[in-house]
Amino acid sequence: MNAPRTMLDKLWASHEVLRREDGVSLLWVDRHFVHEGSHHAFAKLAERGLPVAETALTFAVADHYAPIRSRERIADPKIARMIETLRNNASAHTLRIFDLSDPSQGIVHVIGPELGLTLPGLLINCGDSHTSTHGAFGALAFGIGATEVAHVLATQTVWQRKPKAMRINVEGRLGFGVTAKDIALNWIAQLGSGGAQGHAIEYAGQTIRDLSMEGRMTLCNLSIEGGARFGMVAPDEVTFAYLEGREYAPSGADLQSARQVWRGLVTDKGAVFDRDITLSAADISPTVTWGTSPEQALPITANIPAPDPVDPAKSNLAREALDYMGLAPGQPLDGIPVDQVFIGSCTNGRIEDLREAALVLSGRRARVPGLVVPGSERVKAQAEAEGLDRIFQDAGLEWTASGCSMCVGMNGDVVAEGKRCASSTNRNFRGRQGRGARTHLMSPAMVAAAAVTGTITDVRPLIQGRAA
């Protein structure tokens, strides 16, 4: 009898080319996604005159700098140059590029799954920390830096020490108006933004099984905000149904043999995790961040905490965060006025996210301006087929082409200094959405609720009687 193994053990073993004496493994990479930010890596490759080792496994996409309005002529020369550089690198190395005019363009972590490039059992790399998103399919997916991107381009492998295994079990049914985003903000608030450093997280339990692929992606996406480079969910029928008929996914006999392998990717009974944590779904409420770290999050019904007298370091952090955010201890979260809203990003820019936001906004007007940026052009087309774009525009929000946009502001979509934004994104770091910008993270439905009332507020009364 072999010892029981975790999903991480199985994925690691199937990709390990060799292990050095010091315990670091050389891993085979099945998919490599590059974007405009990968220019440093291509420059390293050019310095050495090396080709891309596996062009059929490497895919390029314009997302971080993608303009969401006029795409034909890019006004900012720096942004135009970033996209042009990606284009040139893709062309020089004969890589498939999902360029601005491509109907399949979108944020890398949205289009990978959408196209069926993301599959269970794969090792997936991208020079972006939210690559953990793809782990939702039962893949070993993690973000890498530019030196590693160059290494994967040159060798189709990556050196990595196996992380420790951690399991977050979520049991029970999520309450009304509670989403995967809230699960994520909840565990990060409990364990801290560095709480899962050095670990690969497997999300398990009935609550996770009940999540759609979109929800699982949101959850895995946010793993890095709790410090974990990897997040994953065991593949199951929900996964298989999502992948059915996706153009790059296997079909026919290949699909049959693939499913057999995929079904075996679950953690064996009795396998031991270095950390094993259980949360109850019933304890999770719609959650919002109040500070400048994702761990500074609380249920919408809470008040901003008073500085913790027993932990001076933490209370100092809280004081500085509140100072930056223009908020005070004791203030209720519900009712904080916002200046604008943003719905989108690799965290919450998928069709289900837009549906949830539209459910709130339908027949209502937004009191503050805002942007709705679909995660991909396909999400955009789907939303338009469902009439969601009308709902957003009738509410007074702007509906645009896809890209990372205001989540990171690289394309010029920024929140002005001192302005407060309710945002469905992943980081409320200082300056993330623009210098001096004040970001509150929450689910897309909660962002929609903030749009309707002009304040951070509980979405639940607004969807009472509306939810399916």
Q: Looking at residues 180 to 219 of the shown chain, list those that interact with another protein (rule: CB under 8 A).
A: 192-194, 197-198
Rounded least distance, CB 229 to another protein, Å: 5
* 1, 2, 3, 18: residue in contact with another protein (rule CB under 8 A): 18
Burial class of 136 by CB neighbour count within 10 A (0 to 12, 13 to 18, 19+): buried
Considering only residues 409 to 428 of the shown chain, the ones binding another protein according to CB under 8 A are 409-410, 417, 427
* Nearest to another protein of 430, 438 (CB atom): 430
Q: Which of 228, 449 has the CB closer to another protein? A: 228
Q: How far is the CB of 328 from another protein (least distance, A)?
A: 21
Binding pattern for the stretch 259-298 against another protein, x by CB under 8 A and - elsewhere:
--x------------------------------xx-----
Minimum distance between the CB of residue 155 and another protein, rounded to whole angstroms? 5
Closer residue to another protein (CB): 44 or 367? 44
Does residue 121 bind another protein (CB under 8 A)? yes
Of 143-151, 181-189, 210-218, 231-239, the segment contacting another protein by CB under 8 A is 143-151
Residue choice 432, 438, 440, 460 for contact with another protein (CB under 8 A): 432
CB-CB contact of 60 with 104 (8 Å): no
Least distance (Å) from another protein to the CB of residue 83? Answer: 10
Can you give the three-state secondary structure of the chain, one letter per residue?
CCCCCCHHHHHHHHHEEEECCCCEEEEECCEEEECHHHHHHHHHHHHHCCCCCCHHHEEEECCCCCCCCCCCCCCCHHHHHHHHHHHHHHHHCCCEEECCCCCCCECHHHHHHHHCCCCCCCEEEECCHHHHHHHHHCCEEEECCHHHHHHHHHHCEEEEECCEEEEEEEECCCCCCCCHHHHHHHHHHHHCCCCCCCEEEEEECHHHHCCCHHHHHHHHHHHHHHCCCEEECCCCHHHHHHHCCCCCCCCHHHHHHHHHHHHCCCCCCCCCCCEEEEEEHHHCCCEEECCCCCCCEEECCCECCCCCCCCHHHHHHHHHHHHHHCCCCCCECCCCECCEEEECHHHHCCHHHHHHHHHHHCCCCCCCCEEECCCEHHHHHHHHHCCHHHHHHHCCCEECCCCCHHHCCCCCCCCCCCCEEEECCCCCCCCCCCCCCEEEECCHHHHHHHHHHCECCCCHHHHCCCCC
In the block, tokens 């896809």 appear at 402
Which CB atom, from 194 or from 326, has the smaller least distance to another protein?
194
43 binds another protein (CB under 8 A): yes
Residue 438 binding another protein, by CB under 8 A = no
Binding to another protein (CB under 8 A) within 74-113 occurs at: 78-79, 81-82, 94-96
Pairwise CA distance, residues 13 & 3, whole Å: 14
Q: Is 117 in the site for another protein (CB under 8 A)?
A: yes
| Closest distance to another protein from the beta carbon of 408 (Å) | 5
Specify the residue, 49 or 270, whose C-beta has the smaller distance to another protein. Answer: 49
Q: Which is nearer to another protein, 245 or 363 (CB)?
A: 245
The least distance separating another protein from the CB of residue 48, rounded to whole angstroms, comes to 7
* The two three-digit tokens of residue 192, written as one number: 């801290």
Between 161 and 466, CB nearer to another protein: 161
Comparing CB distances to another protein, the nearer of 295 and 389 is 295
Rounded to the nearest whole angstrom, what is the least distance from the CB of residue 95 to another protein in the complex? Answer: 7
Would you say 193 or 287 has its CB closer to another protein? 193
Query: At closest approach, how far in Å is the CB of 211 from another protein?
Result: 25
The nearer residue to another protein, 57 or 298, going by C-beta atoms, is 57
Compute the least distance from the CB of residue 77 to another protein, in Å: 10
The site map against another protein for 293-332 (x = CB under 8 A) is x-------------------x---x---------------
